């Protein structure tokens, strides 16, 4: 048990440390990208243009890795707080809207207010990574539905898409670092972060998916906050089925 605690403490430290490192690297990348962009605009030599282009796309890729890892990372360790999940999901849908529109994805939500206790930024990151995957799974359009359910001792968030879907082999690899089917456009880190965050909240992630039909991610979170209040649920969403 003592060892386990020590391990947990170490993990905590590493995750805070990496969050602050990620933040610093991101600042540097943003600066470098800006200046290289300027160079590119002024450069006439096609050979040099090409090199600058390669440098830019390498920087872009590094930025993407950090984005999937912890976009919202702050250098200072965050405090644990009460997180209004409905509000958080609504904000994330807003953030995701431009990408959804680009993919002709229609977003529906069916939410009610409930709260959990955790670090807002990491929870935000976990949910965003999963919602982003759902949109990316629908390059030719489709429907993303974010809904909630209340059970006896836990809440459930469902992220459902009508996208590419996955086979058994893919499902087994979910959450493993560097597993991606998106080639250069993927990092394979988004779900690893999401699984870890949900696990730290004593929650669980389950997946239903069918190739060519779509995917449903279920996130189960224990009821913790006292200030939960149920309100009437939006009527504009029919609880859909993947299969």
Interface contacts to Mg ion, rule CB under 5 A = 133, 190
86 binds, among ligand ADP, Mg ion, none (CB under 5 to 8 A by kind): none
Q: CA-CA distance, 39 to 144, in Å (whole number)?
A: 40
143 close to 159: Cβ distance less than 8 angstroms: no
Binding to ligand ADP, residues 146-165 (CB under 6 A): 161, 163-165
**Token pair in block for residue 174:** 């979910």
Applying CB under 6 A, does 180 fall inside the site for ligand ADP?
Answer: yes
Applying CB under 6 A, does 115 fall inside the site for ligand ADP?
Answer: no
Residues contacting residue 183 through CB under 8 Å, at least 6 positions apart: none
Report the residue from 71, 188, 213, 233 that binds ligand ADP according to the rule CB under 6 A.
188
221 binds, among ligand ADP, Mg ion, none (CB under 5 to 8 A by kind): none
Report the residue from 107, 186, 204, 240 that binds ligand ADP according to the rule CB under 6 A.
186
Q: CA-CA distance, 86 to 92, in Å (whole number)?
A: 10
Residues touching ligand ADP, count (CB under 6 A): 24
**Token pair in block for residue 8:** 């947990």
Q: Which residue(s) pair with 146 in the sheet? A: 109, 159
Applying CB under 6 A, does 103 fall inside the site for ligand ADP?
Answer: no
Applying CB under 6 A, does 145 fall inside the site for ligand ADP?
Answer: no
Q: Which stretch binds ligand ADP (CB under 6 A): 41-49, 110-118, 184-192, 220-228?
A: 184-192
128 close to 93: Cβ distance less than 8 angstroms: no
- Assign 242 to helix, strand or coil: coil
Instruction: Give the Cβ contact number of residue 66 at 10 Å.
Output: 19
Binding to ligand ADP, residues 7-46 (CB under 6 A): none
Applying CB under 6 A, does 133 fall inside the site for ligand ADP?
Answer: yes
Q: Which of 168, 99, 173, 179 is nearest to 137 (CA)?
A: 99
Q: Which stretch binds ligand ADP (CB under 6 A): 9-17, 105-113, 127-135, 144-152?
A: 127-135
HSE-up (13 A, CA, CB side) for residue 83: 21
CB of 41 to ligand ADP, least distance (A): 30
Residues that bind ligand ADP (CB under 6 A): 68, 129, 133-134, 137, 161, 163-166, 170, 174, 179-182, 186-192, 215
């Amino acid at each position: 048990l003592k060892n386990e605690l020590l391990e947990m403490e170490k993990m905590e430290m590493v995750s805070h440390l990496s969050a602050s490192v990620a933040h610093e690297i991101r600042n540097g990348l943003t600066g470098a990208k800006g200046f290289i962009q300027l160079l590119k605009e002024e450069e006439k030599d096609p050979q040099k243009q090409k090199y600058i282009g390669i440098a830019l796309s390498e920087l872009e890729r590094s930025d993407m890795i950090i984005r999937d890892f912890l976009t919202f990372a702050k250098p200072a360790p965050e405090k644990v707080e009460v997180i209004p999940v409905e509000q958080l999901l609504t904000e994330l849908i807003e953030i995701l809207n431009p990408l959804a529109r680009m993919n002709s994805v229609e977003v529906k939500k069916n939410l009610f207010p409930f709260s959990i206790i955790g670090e807002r930024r990491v929870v935000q990151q976990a949910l965003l990574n999963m919602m982003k995957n759902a949109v990316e799974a629908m390059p030719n359009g489709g429907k993303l539905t974010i809904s909630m359910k209340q059970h006896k001792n836990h809440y459930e968030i469902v992220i459902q898409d009508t996208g590419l879907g996955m086979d058994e082999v893919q499902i087994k690899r979910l959450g493993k670092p560097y597993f991606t089917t998106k080639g250069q456009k993927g990092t394979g880190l988004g779900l690893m972060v999401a699984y870890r965050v949900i696990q730290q909240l004593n929650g669980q992630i389950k997946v239903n998916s069918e190739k060519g039909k779509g995917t449903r991610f279920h996130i189960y979170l224990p009821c913790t906050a006292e200030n939960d209040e149920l309100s009437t649920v939006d009527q504009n969403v029919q609880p859909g089925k993947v299969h």
